[in-house]
Structure 1
Amino acid sequence: MRLFALGGAGPLAKSIAGAIGVELDPVEERAFSDGEHKSRPLVSVRNEDVYVLAQLHAHDGKTPGDLLMRLLFFLATCRENGAARVTAVVPYLPFMRKERQTKPRDPVTSRYVATLFEAVGTTMVATIEVHNPAAFQNAFRCQTSHLNAHHLMAQRICSIARSPIVVASPDSGGMHRAGLVREAVQQETGRDVGSAMMEKHRSQDVLTGTQFAGDVAGADVFIVDDIIATGNTIVRAAEACRAHGANRVFAMATHGLFAGGAEGLFAQGVLDGIVVTDSVAPFVLPAEAEQRLEVIPTGELMGAAIARLHGGGSINRLLNPRM
């Protein structure tokens, strides 16, 4: 097995390698003066099972599109140099939120990205918590492995919460995701856990909808989402929970993008805590905001997944340890 990390061996890459018990293999990455670039493995990949870790959220002045192109070129290079299998390991996979046409002539970017991965000979794409897992799986004709942090989140909820507990979705589209976290909390605690949902409609980045469903009075509420970008969706749901009598309100998301700084999310009195994973770390936030942020590490989860993919183990049992 070969394990490469593009963009430098950051903390997450080192954590994944440590969880597997291997060293990251060396990569040459060069940027040219005109903006072009090249990357190549510095060890042989012939007949190897190759895993390429890349963090594709915007960072270090590079856009998700820039970083995706670098990854695609490197995957193709490994294939061209004889790799037996090539797996793209992308903790956050961009362009997945647009998986269907909602307006005339809309792009379906999830399918276009899938086509690009397939075109360079990718064997598998492994990621954590895409916006719509069913759409993700249907978009790709190569193999996919969809991981989630539901049990990691459930364990953290159990350590924070006082009874009663409610797991809430900030919109109707996230009800299934919140339901899975709720079930994981019930497995951990052996107690009933409530559910709630906020109505949301979005048009040209304008959010509307005021209906709220669920009993949150006197409860610790955990609003669960896949991504926190500007934080506006979470803030609306948090304010509704407080208006309906919640005791404490926390936000939990797999990917903390925090676009534009997400200032409203960190304002005093909105949330009692914000919990995300390290899928897009390090975060670009003011120091006072970072102090209010709790980060769940995913290195062991992703390392275990890679080890099972390489050895033919069960990903389902990894994600559902109580089965």
Structure 2
Amino acid sequence: MAGQIDAEDIFRSGDRVAELGLISLTGARELTEKIDAHLVKWAEGSPLYKESYIVESECPRFSSGDGKGLIKSTIRGDDLFFIVDVGNYSCSYNIFGHQNSMSPDDHFQDLKRLIQAASGKAHRITVIMPMLYGSRQHRRNYRESLDCAVALQELQNMGVSNIVTFDAHDPRVQNAVPLMGFDNVSPSYQVLKCLLRSIPDIRLDREHLMVVSPDEGAMSRNMYYASVLGIDLGMFYKRRDYARVVNGRNPIVAHEYLGNSLEGKDVFIADDIISSGESMLEVARELKKRNASRIFAYATYAIFTNGLDEFDRAYEEGLLSGVFGTNLTYRSPELLSREWFHEVDVSKYIAYFIAAINHDMSVSAIIDPHEKIRQLLLKHGYRAQ
């Protein structure tokens, strides 16, 4: 592709900022090892080659629950990348004889502990935090905390130079740290590639497919998919009951649809997170009422806080034909075993970011998502937009 540089060429040039080091937090080990494998492969035969770029570390805890961060080898002068999954609830620690599941707060504290353990000796610190800590508490209504903004300011004060996150709930939260690098990334190319591989008979054209936004907050990401594919876009908006508060939120009264006819068309819905999944299932029901054919849902973070039973039933009844989610946060073994779930691997994309940052290069010089999507569509016989 014209104007783009291969990752292998970057490593062969040897022109890096400093020696590369990856530090994996508890819960992000699987993702870190995949990223490391890509970096090692690209560096083969270059002066920068290492068997692994992972710097061993841990956050042991005392029986009282107190913890500490420990980095097990020298990192003086290194360009460090801390990789953390604040949503991994499968991790646990012992406190007073009981096993306690780690919350996002625990993961964030461990991140700060390991940054402290670096003791200011690193050349530069970048945090890869796909699911941004506190991102669902990103704005203030009345007397409320601003968790995400304060967390970003904490990291900036600790010497973090860059944050790389994916599909932030509200990317405007970066306004809290205007002098710190902040990359909010959408893995749109990886999603479309997985969609074409997993659903080989899908037709990505205006006659057979439509993109629908599940609410006004997700319009920008769905607008992008509709634009690059050259197909129609519809949307739902949530009509809420502002006279009541249920579980901290105004309950949704109805989902109202705006857009062209869905008759006989497949539908692709993209959102940043499937939490309980109630909204996504309600949107799917409304689409079926309008005679949509197959419905494919995508969420960067498919966490299913209420379990999988409702989605199992939706798949069996033909309400949903598939759900796509990334490996940017923890996926339970039960979820990975489901026939209706398709995993989008984003590890190579993150490795590109790390390679670019480590060599002080523009990320777009290595990977242009729009160009990659254009080539993908051409490969499958579609006219690129």
Q: Note whether the superposition's TM-score is higher than 0.5.
A: yes
Distance 1:285 1:226, change over 3 A: same
Give the match for residue 31 of structure 1. 61
- CA apart distance, 1:319: 4.6
Alignment of 1:113-262 (within 5 A): 113-133=151-171, 135-141=172-178, 142-159=180-197, 160=199, 161-162=202-203, 163=205, 164-184=208-228, 186=229, 192-201=230-239, 203-204=245-246, 205=249, 206-214=251-259, 215-262=261-308
Query: Hey, what's the Cα distance between the residues in 1 that align with 2:77 and 2:109?
Result: 24
Distance 1:303 1:17, change over 3 A: same
Give the match for residue 332 of structure 2. 283
Matched residue of 2:298: which SS?
strand
Maintained 8 Å contact 1:234/1:265: no
- Structure showing greater radius of gyration is 2
Is residue 75 of structure 2 the alignment partner of residue 45 of structure 1? yes
Query: Hey, what's the Cα distance between the residues in 1 that align with 2:350 and 2:335?
Result: 28
Which residue identity lines up with residue 176 of structure 2 in the other structure? A
Query: Hey, what's the Cα distance between the residues in 2 that align with 1:68 and 1:284?
Result: 24
- Map Cα deviations across residues 90-129 of structure 1 (whole Å, 9 max, x no partner): 121131122222x321322221121221222211111111
Is residue 350 of structure 2 the alignment partner of residue 273 of structure 1? no
- Greater RCO (Cα-Cα under 8 Å, separation 6 or more): 2
Aligned match for 1:82, one of 121, 124, 127: 121
- Map Cα deviations across residues 163-187 of structure 1 (whole Å, 9 max, x no partner): 5111111101110111112233x1x
Query: Hey, what's the Cα distance between the residues in 1 that align with 2:68 and 2:174?
Result: 30
- Map Cα deviations across residues 215-262 of structure 1 (whole Å, 9 max, x no partner): 321111011000111001111111111111111001101111111214
- Map Cα deviations across residues 265-300 of structure 1 (whole Å, 9 max, x no partner): 332222110010111133264676x33211011110
Structure 2 unpaired stretches of 5+? 1-19, 41-51, 92-100, 373-385
Give the match for residue 356 of structure 2. 308
Which residue identity lines up with residue 113 of structure 1 in the other structure? A
Give the match for residue 189 of structure 1. none
Is residue 33 of structure 2 the alignment partner of residue 3 of structure 1? no
Query: Hey, what's the Cα distance between the residues in 1 that align with 2:120 and 2:154?
Result: 19
The size of the alignment, in residue pairs, is 313
Maintained 8 Å contact 2:22/2:55: yes
Structure 1 unpaired stretches of 5+? 187-191
- CA apart distance, 1:139: 2.4
Maintained 8 Å contact 2:270/2:299: yes
Query: Hey, what's the Cα distance between the residues in 2 that align with 1:314 and 1:137?
Result: 19
Maintained 8 Å contact 1:4/1:24: yes
Distance 1:195 1:8, change over 3 A: closer
Matched residue of 1:4: which SS?
strand
Which residue identity lines up with residue 117 of structure 1 in the other structure? L
Maintained 8 Å contact 2:213/2:270: yes
Range with bigger deviation, 164-173 or 91-100: 91-100
Give the match for residue 138 of structure 2. 99
Query: Hey, what's the Cα distance between the residues in 1 that align with 2:81 and 2:335?
Result: 34
Which residue identity lines up with residue 30 of structure 1 in the other structure? P
Aligned match for 2:148, one of 110, 119, 131: 110
Matched residue of 1:178: which SS?
helix
Maintained 8 Å contact 2:335/2:341: no
Q: Scaled by the length of structure 2, what TM-score is found?
A: 0.76
Query: Hey, what's the Cα distance between the residues in 2 that align with 1:31 and 1:319?
Result: 43
Q: Scaled by the length of structure 1, what TM-score is found?
A: 0.90
Give the match for residue 64 of structure 1. 104
Aligned match for 2:33, one of 14, 17, 42: 14
Query: Hey, what's the Cα distance between the residues in 2 that align with 1:195 and 1:62?
Result: 39
Query: Hey, what's the Cα distance between the residues in 1 that align with 2:66 and 2:123?
Result: 28
- CA apart distance, 1:212: 0.5
Give the match for residue 320 of structure 1. 369
Which residue identity lines up with residue 175 of structure 1 in the other structure? M
Give the match for residue 345 of structure 2. 297
